[in-house]
Amino acid sequence: MNKIWQTDLAVAQTQILARSLKHFTQRDLLPGDFPPPELAEKIFHAPFVIVSHGTEADPVLNFGNAAALALWEMSWAELTRTPSRLTAEAPDREERARLLAAVAARGFIDDYSGVRISKSGRRFRIARATVWNLLTEDGQPCGQAAMFREWELL
């Protein structure tokens, strides 16, 4: 695997992830103060899952760290072409849409749980996820992200 975290896109996205989480929750994505390239590497290799999508009509995933790539059984190229709705099974997509609408209205939610599905069809339950809106440097909406440390295969 090439060093995805070194790409301009990954470095910029990790800055958005960290800045937006701090804005909405007052929490740091990682403890410490790191230059952007180092933060990108640390987030990519973090022991938790983090994914994000953009603001398209059918939002497409635009970031996933190594834990996310492994859990969803995708390469970076596959993940970043995947509509985020496809990370949930069809019956769970309506609940997922309600969750994202609540996040859009409130800025973030903590303690989300739900079932997701990998590329191969493997199902897993995520627990205690934080989901938050993403903002550009000038405060414009640019997507949503989710982060969680707990999951179990079903």
Which tokens go with 33?
């103060």
Residue in the structure block whose two tokens are 């997701």 = 116
Q: Are strands 123-135 and 150-153 parallel, antiparallel or unpaired?
A: antiparallel
Q: What is the pLDDT of residues 92-146, one digit of tens each?
A: 778 778 888 888 889 999 988 999 999 999 999 999 999 999 999 999 999 999 9
Token pair in block for residue 127: 């627990």
For residue 143, the model assigns a pLDDT of 96
In the chain the domains, ranked by start, together with CATH numbers, are: 4-153 (3.30.450.20)
The model carries a pTM of 0.92
Strands 49-53 and 108-117: unpaired
What confidence tens digit (pLDDT) does each residue in 46-96 have? 999 999 999 999 999 999 999 999 999 999 999 999 999 999 877 777 877
Four-residue CA torsion sign, 50, 146, 12, 9:
positive
